[in-house]
A and B are shown apart, each in its own frame.
Chain A
Amino acid sequence: KHRILHKLLQNGNS
C-alpha cells in the first residue's frame, strides 16, 4: 500500500 515510502525507507542513506 505504501510502496514508495517502503522503498525510500529501505534504500541506504543517500
Chain B
Amino acid sequence: SPTSAGVEIEHLTQNVLKSYRETCQLRAEDLQLRRWDTFSREEVCAYQRKPMEEMWQRCAGRITEAIQYVVEFAKRLRGFMDLCQNDQIVLLKAGAMEVVLVRMCRAFNADNRTVFFEGKYAGAELFRSLGCHELISSIFDFAQSLCALHFSESEVALFSALVLVNANRPWLQDQAKVARLQGHLDVAFRVLLRRTRREGLLARLPPPGRLRALCSQHVEQLQAFRRLHPGVLHAAFPPLYRELFA
C-alpha cells in the first residue's frame, strides 16, 4: 500500500542519514569553523619542496583514510550487505573514490578555492610536487561546481549512496538486486528533495561521466608516477590504495 511504501522509504532515508553521520569522517560544523584556517606561505613552500614520492605517498594515505570511511558507510547502508560479496566489491571498487570526491565538497572552501588537507585548508599550489597539475585542477573545479549546488548534509548522504549503489557498474552478478536497491534510494532522494522544495537540484547534479573521468584521470596519473618511480608504490603505499587503483 502507498502508506507502507512511504514508511519503508522514510526508514531507508533515516538509515542513509544515520550511516552517513556515523561515517562522515569530519563534522560539517568543524570544517565550517576552520574554513579560513589556511596554510601559511612557509608551510605551502615546505609541501612544495617535498619529493614527489613523499607527496604521492601522503595523498594516497589521506585518500585511503577517506575510503575506509566510505567502506563503513556502505556496510551500514540498509541492503548493501545483503548483496553478494562480488557485487559489494564491484560497487566499492568502482564507486569508493567517486564518493570521496563527492564528500570532498564539504571540505572545500569555494570562496578561496582551498581544501581541508592534513589539518588546514590548502590551495591547489600546495600539491605542486605531485606533478599532476591538470588532475588537481580538475578535482578543484569539480569541488567548486558541487559547492555551487549548496548541498545539505542529507543531500550529500543520499546522493553519495546513489553514487555507490549503481546498477550500471560492469561485472555485477545480480544486477537486478542492485537495481532494486538503487531504485529505492532514488525514490528516497526524490522524496527528500520534494519535501525540502529542492527538486531543481536533480537537473544540476554532475553527470556520472564527470566522476568517472576524474577517477580515470587519477588512475592514469598513478600509472605515470609508477613509471617514474618504480617500486615506490609497492614499498610505501597503503595496501588498500594499491588494491583499488594499481
Contacts and interface: CB of A to CB of B under 8 A. Distances in A.
Interface in B76-126: 76, 81, 85, 88-89, 92-93
A5 B71 contact: yes
Contacts of A2: 89, 93, 243
Nearest to B76: A13
Nearest to B71: A8
A7 to B, nearest CB: 9
A8 B243 CA distance: 12
Nearest to B241: A4
B75 interface: yes
Interface residues of A, number: 9
Interface string A1-14: 01111101100011
- Residues of B in contact with A, size category: 10 to 19
Contact of B243 (A3, A9, A13, A14): A3
Contacts of A6: 85, 89
Nearest to A3: B243
Contacts of B76: 13
B75 A9 contact: yes
Interface in B184-223: none
B230 interface: no
A9 B89 CA distance: 9
A3 B71 CA distance: 14
A3 B243 CA distance: 8
B93 A5 contact: yes
Contacts of B72: 13-14
Contacts of B75: 9, 13
A4 B88 contact: no
Interface of A: 2-6, 8-9, 13-14
9 contacts: A3-B243, A4-B240, A4-B243, A5-B89, A5-B93, A9-B81, A9-B88, A9-B92, A13-B75
In the A-B complex, the 3 residue pairs with the smallest Cβ-Cβ separation, listed nearest first, are: A4-B240, A8-B71, A2-B89
